[in-house]
Chain A
Amino acid sequence: DIQMTQSPSSLSASIGDRVTITCRASQDIRNSLAWFQQRPGKAPKSLIYATSTLQTGVPSRFSGTGSGTDFTLTITSLQPEDFATYYCQQYNIYPLTFGGGTKVDIK
């Protein structure tokens, strides 16, 4: 199975900060990488697919880059509603696998 490793596992940031989360795959997954946001007590929300394509309605302060094994999610100018846990997922090879998550909380 492909292992997805996210770093950091948690971070503290302030409103307006730029935040970058990294996701590394144990083998080449091309650009088959998605990002999800999960607020406490809520269902996940889909943010990005195909590494960099925003789902409908996702604010442009979210962006994704990468290819192969190394990917990043960047949030420019962090907003109060962005404090959440973020997960990456590869969908290139079965079984599909998620990263362990990155919790973004308030500094």
Chain B
Amino acid sequence: EAQLLESGGGLVQPGGSLRLSCVGSGFTLSTYWMTWVRQAPGKGLEWLANIKQDGSQKYSVDSVKGRFTISRDNAKNSLYLQMNSLRADDTALYYCGRSHVVDLWGQGTMVTVSS
């Protein structure tokens, strides 16, 4: 069964950094675009970024450009989100998703930005 498992969330102070990881199992991650989506508490879904199979193309929403970086390591079946200069409004549940149009979602990892 194909699955995604996120990790790396936690409590961080404003201005701090976190690196989220997402490991895929039951499928070959290297053959898919991969995506990050977040959901602030009680709010809707927000698309953040995606990355092509070989990492040669990356796209992201303006609100995270220059602060968040999406990357992948296909040998480890893994996707990453490096988050720097974190702000209170980055507090959310972060999901990784398989494919450009997500067809498989992880369970999410919670990021709380607070002093």
A56 CB → nearest B CB, Å: 8
Q: Which residues of chain B are within 8 angstroms of A87 by Cβ–Cβ distance?
A: 44-45
Q: Are B95 and A98 in contact (CB under 8 A)?
A: no
A46 at the B interface (CB under 8 A): yes
Other-chain contact of A95, B62, B101, B107 (Cβ < 8 Å): B62
Report the nearest A residue to B102, measured CB to CB: A46
- The answer, yes or no, to whether B9 is at the interface (CB within 8 Å) is no
A45 at the interface (CB under 8 A from B): yes
In B36-63, the 8 Å CB interface with A consists of 37, 44-47, 50, 59-62
A98 near B59 with CB under 8 A, answer: no
**Whose C-beta in chain A lies nearest to the C-beta of B62?**
A95
Among A1, A45, A95, A99, chain B packs the most CB atoms within 10 A around the CB of: A95
Whether B104 sits at the interface, judged by CB under 8 Å, is: yes
The interface residues of chain A lying within 8 Å CB-to-CB of B60 are 95
**A43-B106, A44-B95, A46-B103 known; A36 vs B45 contact (CB < 8 Å):** yes
Does the CB pair A98–B105 fall under 8 Å? no
In the assembly, what is the distance between CA of A46 and CA of B108, in Å? 15
**B101 contacts A34, C-beta separation under 8 Å:** yes
Neighbouring A residues of B62 by C-beta, 8 Å: 1, 95
Which residues from chain A sit less than 8 Å from chain B, CB to CB? 1, 34, 36, 38, 43-46, 49, 55, 87, 89, 91, 94-101
- Given A36-B45, A38-B45, A89-B45, 11 more pairs with CB closer than 8 A: A36-B102, A44-B105, A46-B102, A46-B103, A87-B44, A87-B45, A89-B47, A89-B101, A95-B47, A98-B46, A100-B44
24 contacts between A and B (CB under 8 A): A1-B62, A34-B101, A38-B45, A43-B105, A43-B106, A44-B37, A44-B45, A44-B95, A44-B105, A45-B105, A46-B103, A46-B104, A49-B103, A55-B103, A87-B44, A89-B45, A91-B100, A91-B101, A95-B47, A95-B61, A97-B47, A98-B44, A99-B44, A101-B44
